[in-house]
């Protein structure tokens, strides 16, 4: 059986789809997958043992100038149409993913109008699957695949399919080490820098090295500030997703904020704490073995706002992180590491 998966972005959403493939591979002998994914995230499905072919697309780049990129867009659609699939599953439920689903060859499945984020997307599907909202994103995708492919899913267990032997241990990092994932998008999702610095000091007292990844200049500058005059804190070189997966998989522990890399950590099975303030851990929090999502206990949390709008006096910004101090976070991580 050959299945085409449509899940282009974002990093966390792509990772959320991996367990559904693992479920299907356990239930259906001989099943294999091709995957339409944003080119910058293609290393994620490449790490799953049941994915055969990646069809990279560049929606984020194309939409900046559709006319100039029309030839590349046409080539990607042609690549997608070279095979007729037994099943085409749109695991995203957006208009952009539905466009790719529409052009693919095969029986088309996707979320129903009441289940998906953008109901117009359902026009691309022959088979519309009801999956109740109000569940974690991973659980919903697993149910979509199970209902589309016709098997019962066991939600009591979870496997992303990533194998440690496929991600060799980095030779240049000093063990034992932690990774602190300080970078994210919204300003309201950033844990205060003073807290990160205190957490680095706590790790130092425990004899733990700390490695700080970065993906853009702003994150690099923050990593430089955090590592300043701290012998145990080191800045990683700019890394690919696959390289980061190896670093995360062999770490003793990870602390992160709401970001795609925190979801990658969960997929790696590494002891990890993820900090949630403005966003909700209930529906999109990290999920995995030895993984804990910590939600701030604050009146307006989760506010789902990109910038903190709390106007009263607070010792930190965003204010909700007053309820998740560094020692509490480290104690939680330590409990997972033992």
Full domain range(s) for residue 281: 165-337
Under 8 Å between Cβ of 110 and 123:
no
Residue 295's nearest CA partner among 315, 278, 307 is 278
Q: Is the dihedral of CA 226, 229, 233, 237 positive or negative?
A: positive
Give the E-state strand segments of 16-116 in sequence order.
Answer: 32-38, 51-57, 84-90, 105-111
Q: What is the pLDDT of residue 207?
A: 96
Residue 49 lies in a domain: yes
pLDDT per residue, tens digit, the chain (338 aa), is: 999 999 999 999 999 999 999 999 999 999 999 999 999 999 999 999 999 999 999 888 887 787 877 888 888 887 888 899 999 999 999 999 999 999 999 999 999 999 999 999 999 999 999 999 999 999 999 999 999 999 999 999 999 999 888 888 898 999 999 999 999 999 999 999 999 999 999 999 999 999 999 999 999 999 999 999 888 999 999 999 999 999 999 999 999 999 999 999 999 999 999 999 999 999 889 999 899 999 999 999 999 999 999 888 888 999 999 999 999 999 999 999 98
Q: Which of 117, 149, 181 is the last residue of a domain?
A: 149
Residue 300 lies in a domain: yes
Rounded Cα distance between 139 and 117, Å, is 16
Beta bridge partners of 127: 109
Residue 159 lies in a domain: no
Residues 325 and 195 in one domain: yes
Q: Which of 123, 149, 175 is the last residue of a domain?
A: 149
Rounded Cα distance between 89 and 93, Å, is 10
Residues 182 and 327 in one domain: yes
Give me 293's structure tokens: 């999502």
Residues 51 and 21 in one domain: yes
Three-class SS state of 59 = helix
Residue 324 lies in a domain: yes
Q: Which of 97, 117, 149 is the last residue of a domain?
A: 149
Residue 36 lies in a domain: yes
Residue 63 lies in a domain: yes
Residues 169 and 305 in one domain: yes
Residues 59 and 142 in one domain: yes
Check whether the bond before 318 is cis (ω within 30° of 0): yes
Give me 23's structure tokens: 């479920």
Residues 180 and 269 in one domain: yes
Residues 92 and 206 in one domain: no
Number of domains in the chain: 2
Residue 16 lies in a domain: yes
Rounded Cα distance between 18 and 290, Å, is 18
Under 8 Å between Cβ of 129 and 113:
no
* DSSP type of residue 310: -
The CATH number for 82's domain is 3.40.50.2000
Q: How far is CA 279 from the centre of its chain?
A: 14
Under 8 Å between Cβ of 288 and 160:
yes
Beta bridge partners of 211: 179, 234
Residue 19 lies in a domain: yes
Under 8 Å between Cβ of 266 and 288:
yes
Check whether the bond before 10 is cis (ω within 30° of 0): yes
**Residue 224 neighbours by CB under 8 Å, 6+ apart:** 235
């Amino acid at each position: 059986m050959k299945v085409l998966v449509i899940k282009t972005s974002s990093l966390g959403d792509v990772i959320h789809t991996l367990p559904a493939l693992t479920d299907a591979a356990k239930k259906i002998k001989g099943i294999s997958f091709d995957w339409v994914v944003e080119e910058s995230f293609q290393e994620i499905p490449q790490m799953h043992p049941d994915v055969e072919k990646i069809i990279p697309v560049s929606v984020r780049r194309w939409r900046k100038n559709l006319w100039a990129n029309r030839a590349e867009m046409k080539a990607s659609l042609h690549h997608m149409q070279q095979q007729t699939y037994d099943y085409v599953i749109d695991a995203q439920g957006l208009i952009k993913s539905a466009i790719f689903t529409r052009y693919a060859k095969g029986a088309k499945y996707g979320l129903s109008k009441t289940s998906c984020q953008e109901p117009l997307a359902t026009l691309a599907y022959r088979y519309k699957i009801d999956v109740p909202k109000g569940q974690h994103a991973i659980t919903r995708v697993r149910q979509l695949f199970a209902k589309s492919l016709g098997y019962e899913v066991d939600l009591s267990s979870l496997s992303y399919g990533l194998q440690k032997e496929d991600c060799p241990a980095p030779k240049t990092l000093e063990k034992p080490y932690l990774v602190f994932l300080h970078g994210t998008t919204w300003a309201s999702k950033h844990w205060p820098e003073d807290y990160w610095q205190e957490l680095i000091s706590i790790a130092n007292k425990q004899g733990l090295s700390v490695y700080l990844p970065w993906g853009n200049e702003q994150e690099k500058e923050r990593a430089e500030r955090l590592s300043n005059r701290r012998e145990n804190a080191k800045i990683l070189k700019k890394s690919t997703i696959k390289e980061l997966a190896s670093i995360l998989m062999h770490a003793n522990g990870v602390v992160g904020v709401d970001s795609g890399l925190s979801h990658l950590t969960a997929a790696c099975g590494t002891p990890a704490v993820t900090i949630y303030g403005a966003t909700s851990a209930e529906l999109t929090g990290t999920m995995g073995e030895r993984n804990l999502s910590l939600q701030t206990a604050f009146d307006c949390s989760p506010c789902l706002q990109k910038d903190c709008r709390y106007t009263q006096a607070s010792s930190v910004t965003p204010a909700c992180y007053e309820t998740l101090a560094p020692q509490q976070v480290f104690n939680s991580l330590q409990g997972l590491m033992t």
